[in-house]
Structure 1
Amino acid sequence: MLISTKEIEVRYAETDQMGVVYHANYLVWMEVARTQIVKDLGFNYAHMEEEGVLSPVTDVQISYKKPLRYGQTATVKIWIEEYDGLRTTYGYEIYTEEQELAITAYSKHVCVQKDSFRPISIRRKFPDWHDAYEKAKKPESFED
């Protein structure tokens, strides 16, 4: 199972009136992490989009545990929780500088044709991606 990591410096503009990271910014950081895991697997989202394929979010869930503040560095960990050739679920954990768990999350995605938004099979359209995701995903017998 591949776990990719991305460090993100918390910027002032990402905080709210309480001085903590505004909740929606974690979604942006999750997107940055997805780009990283794709890159770590040797691929590029931009190339997929050039082929007329998009990967919209179909579901997202975030549990907030500890706040992050301006000037801190967040560590985002991402892995492929589930993958079936059509749908992908990514798992996330974001940690504070003290390595305290700040959030746990997942996002679900499906690849679609850009012009029609009809789902496509990654297995057929991008066999190299399919093989890499199969090898990198969390094993079914894996226990946390």
Structure 2
Amino acid sequence: MFKSTTNVEVRYAETDQMGVVYHANYLIWMEVGRTSLIKELGFQYADMEKEGILSPVIDVNVSYKKPLRYGQTATVHTWVEQYDGFRVVYGYEILTPDNDLAVTATSSHVCVKSETFRPISIRKKFPHWHEAYERVKKEDN
């Protein structure tokens, strides 16, 4: 399976009064992982946005398993869980420094025109992205 791996150092500002990472900060780390994956595939969201296309999150599912704390380093693994030419579901695992599972998650995305938010086909508008996603999806089977 093609996975992108990114390390994130837990900053003090990301923790809550209990000294653990505030739950919403994992979403930011997921974005860091997703951006890294896309970059490793040879693309950038900025190029998509220059063409008037955005990729909003339409669904997120997160399961919290074990806390991370200030000063630790989280490892974020990201991969393409599902892709159908229109919708992309990314999978995530966030690990503690001891390689224990801290979080499992998925996020679903579609591409839309920035001025209307009407969905577009990735397959048609960005054929190179489509080919890369199909390739990494096939690596999983």
Which 5+ residue runs of structure 1 have no aligned equivalent?
A: none
Match of 1:67 in 2: 67
Alignment root-mean-square deviation, CA: 1.1
Deviations 1:27-78 (A, max 9, x none): 0000011100000000011000000000000000000000000000000000
2:86 alignment counterpart: 86
Does structure 1 retain, via aligned residues, the 8 Å contact 2:37–2:78?
yes
Q: Secondary structure at the match of 1:98?
A: coil
Partner of 2:46: 46
Distance 1:107 1:59 in 2: 6
- 1:1-144 map, 5 Å: 1-137=1-137, 142=141
Q: Please say if residues 79 and 138 of structure 1, whose CA atoms lie closer than 8 Å, have aligned partners that are also in contact.
A: no
**Counterpart amino acid of residue 16 in structure 1:** D
Shift of 1:137: 2.0
Gaps of 5+ in 2: none
Looking at structure 1, the residues matched to 73 and 47 of structure 2 have their Cα atoms a distance apart, in angstroms, of: 30
Q: What is the number of residues matched between the two proteins?
A: 141
Are 2:63 and 2:104, in contact at CA under 8 Å, matched by a contact in 1?
yes
On the 8 A contact 2:2/2:139 being kept in 1, the answer is no
2: CA distance between counterparts of 1:138 and 1:111?
22
TM-score by length of 1: 0.95
Residue-by-residue CA offset, 1:71-100 (whole Å, 9 max, x unaligned) = 000000000000000000000000000000
Answer whether contact 2:20 2:70 (CA < 8 A) is retained.
Answer: yes
Seq. identity, %: 68
2:9–2:72 CA contact under 8 A, matched in 1: yes
